[in-house]
Structure 1
Amino acid sequence: MQQLKTKVLIIGAGTGGYVAGIRCGQLGLDTVLVDGGDGLGGTCLNVGCIPSKAIIHAAGKFETVAKAAADGTLGITASSPAIDLSQTVAWKDGMVRKLNAGVAALLKKAKVKVIKGWATFEDAKTCRVETGDGPITITAEHVILATGSEPVELPFLPFGGDVISSTEALSLDAVPGKLVVVGGGYIGLELGIAYRKLGAEVAIVEMADRILPLYDKALTDPVMKWLTDHGVELHLGARAGGFGDGKLSITTRDGEPLALEADKVLVTVGRRPRTKGWGLENMGVAMAGPFVKIDDRCATSMKNVWAVGDLTGEPMLAHKGSAQGEVVAEIIAGHDKRFDPVTIAAVCFTEPEIVSAGLGPLDVEGRDDVITAVFPLAAIGRALAIEAGEDGGFVRVLASKADHRLLGVQAVGQHVAELSNSFAQMLEMGAVLEDVAGVIHVHPTLGEAFHEASLRALGHAIHI
Structure 2
Amino acid sequence: MSTYDVAIIGSGPGGYVAAIRCAQLGMKTAIIEKYNTLGGTCLNVGCIPSKALLDSSHHYDDAMKHFEDHGIEIPGEIKINFEKMIARKKQVVDQTCDGVAFLMKKNNIDVYTGMGSFKDATHINIDGADGSQTIEAKNTIIATGSKPGSLPFITIDKERVITSTEALTLKEIPKHMIVIGGGVIGLELGQVYRRLGAEVTVIEYMDRITPGMDKMLSKELMKVLKKQKIKFHLSHAVNKVERNGDEVTVTAKNKKGEEVTFTGDYCLVSVGRRPYTDKLNATAAGVKINERGQVETNEHLQTNVSNIYAIGDVVKGAMLAHKAEEEGVFVAETIAGQKPHIDYNLIPNVIYTWPEVASVGKTEEELKEAGTAIKVGQFPIRALGRARASGDIDGMIKIIADEKTDEVLGVHMIGARVADLIAEAVTAMEFRASAEDIARMSHAHPTYAEAVKEAALAATADRALHV
- TM-score interval for Structure 1 and Structure 2 normalised by the shorter chain: over 0.9
- In structure 1, the partner of 2:78 is 81
Bigger mean CA offset, 284-293 vs 376-385: 284-293
Give SS of 1:297's match. coil
Partner Cα distance (1:320, 1:29) in 2: 23
Instruction: Write the deviation string for residues 54-109 of structure 1: whole angstroms up to 9, x where unpaired.
Output: 1011111111111158xx33333333221121111111111111111111111111
Q: Which amino acid aligns with 1:264?
A: Y
Instruction: Write the deviation string for residues 286-340 of structure 1: whole angstroms up to 9, x where unpaired.
Output: 3454222222322112111111111112211000111111111122222222334
Gaps in structure 1 of 5+ consecutive residues: none
- In structure 2, the partner of 1:272 is 274
- In structure 2, the partner of 1:157 is 154
Q: Which amino acid aligns with 2:340?
A: K
Task: Compute the displacement of 1:395 (Å).
Answer: 0.8
Q: Which amino acid aligns with 1:20?
A: A
Give SS of 2:70's match. coil
Alignment of 1:89-128 (within 5 A): 89-128=86-125
Determine which of 299, 319, 322 is the counterpart of 2:322.
319
Instruction: Write the deviation string for residues 356-395 of structure 1: whole angstroms up to 9, x where unpaired.
Output: 1001111112536211111111211111111122x3x111
* Aligned-residue identity in percent: 38
Distance 1:462 1:356, change over 3 A: same
Task: Compute the displacement of 1:351 (Å).
Answer: 3.2
Partner Cα distance (2:52, 2:414) in 1: 20
Partner Cα distance (2:388, 2:291) in 1: 47
Give SS of 1:363's match. helix
- In structure 2, the partner of 1:23 is 21
Partner Cα distance (2:433, 2:343) in 1: 17
Q: Say if 2:381 is the partner of 1:384.
A: no
Q: Which amino acid aligns with 2:148?
A: P
Alignment of 1:355-394 (within 5 A): 355-365=358-368, 367=371, 369-389=373-393, 391=394, 393-394=395-396
Normalised to the residue count of structure 1, the TM-score between the two structures is: 0.95
Partner Cα distance (2:448, 2:228) in 1: 25
Q: Between Structure 1 and Structure 2, how many residues are aligned?
A: 458
- In structure 1, the partner of 2:449 is 447
Give SS of 2:116's match. strand
2:250/2:263 contact within 8 Å kept: no
Q: Which amino acid aligns with 2:305?
A: M
Partner Cα distance (1:114, 1:423) in 2: 37
2:43/2:93 contact within 8 Å kept: yes
Q: Which amino acid aligns with 1:106?
A: L
Give SS of 2:20's match. helix
Q: Which amino acid aligns with 2:31?
A: L
Q: Say if 2:298 is the partner of 1:299.
A: no
- In structure 1, the partner of 2:258 is 256
- In structure 1, the partner of 2:414 is 412
Gaps in structure 2 of 5+ consecutive residues: none
Give SS of 2:346's match. coil
2:34/2:128 contact within 8 Å kept: no
Task: Compute the displacement of 1:153 (Å).
Answer: 2.4
Determine which of 219, 225, 228 is the counterpart of 1:227.
225
- In structure 1, the partner of 2:3 is 5
- In structure 1, the partner of 2:431 is 429
1:68/1:77 contact within 8 Å kept: no
Q: Which amino acid aligns with 1:354?
A: V
Distance 1:288 1:244, change over 3 A: closer
- In structure 2, the partner of 1:462 is 465
Partner Cα distance (1:400, 1:278) in 2: 45
Distance 1:121 1:402, change over 3 A: same
1:308/1:321 contact within 8 Å kept: yes
Distance 1:452 1:220, change over 3 A: same
Q: Which amino acid aligns with 1:85?
A: F
Task: Compute the displacement of 1:433 (Å).
Answer: 1.7
Determine which of 277, 280, 283 is the counterpart of 1:281.
283
1:247/1:259 contact within 8 Å kept: no
1:147/1:275 contact within 8 Å kept: yes
Q: Which amino acid aligns with 1:198?
A: L
Partner Cα distance (1:201, 1:77) in 2: 27
- In structure 2, the partner of 1:244 is 243
Normalised to the residue count of structure 2, the TM-score between the two structures is: 0.94
